[in-house]
Amino acid sequence: MLADRLEAITAATGTTLVALEWGPPSGVVVVHWYRNLLADAPVAQIGLLLVAHEARRRGIGRLLIKAAAQAARVAGCGELEILVHGQHPELAQFCAATGFEALGTSFRRKLRKT
């Protein structure tokens, strides 16, 4: 059940953020954080970023990324990454436009200025 999955993400090391206007949700982002041996601070990973087709090109994706980055900073993360599965040139363009750098099959950006 979807509600159980959302609760499980929030109870672990992550969060789900939903963009709401009038009617059904306009977008959703699911972000979780993890530690690895290559970074001093946890890395936040966006596992899902969806914006309703009719709500695209209105800044909702950018707002969801901004909110996910803020949640990750509060959790002590140093970087935010988005995994890209398959060929999605529009997602690659979006990532570049929002400050991410390509890194293999993912895009990553720093959360704090160094």
pLDDT of residue 5: 67
The Cα angle at residue 35 between residues 33 and 36, in degrees rounded to 5: 130
Query: What pLDDT does 39 receive?
Result: 79
What pLDDT score was predicted for residue 63?
93
Q: Which domains does the chain have, with CATH numbers?
A: 2-110 (3.40.630.30)
Q: Which two tokens stand for residue 113?
A: 């200025």
- Give the pLDDT score at 8: 62
Q: What is the DSSP string of 27-79?
A: EEEEEEEE--TT-SS-EEEEEEEEE-GGGTTSSHHHHHHHHHHHHHHHTT-SE
Give residue 64's pLDDT. 94
Comparing C-alpha atoms, which of 71, 25, 65, 70 is closest to residue 48? 65
Tell me what pLDDT residue 31 has: 94
pLDDT given for residue 57 in this prediction? 86
pLDDT digit string (tens) for the chain, length 114 residues:
666 666 666 656 888 888 888 878 889 999 999 888 887 889 999 988 989 888 888 889 999 999 999 999 999 999 999 887 767 778 888 888 989 888 876 777 888 776
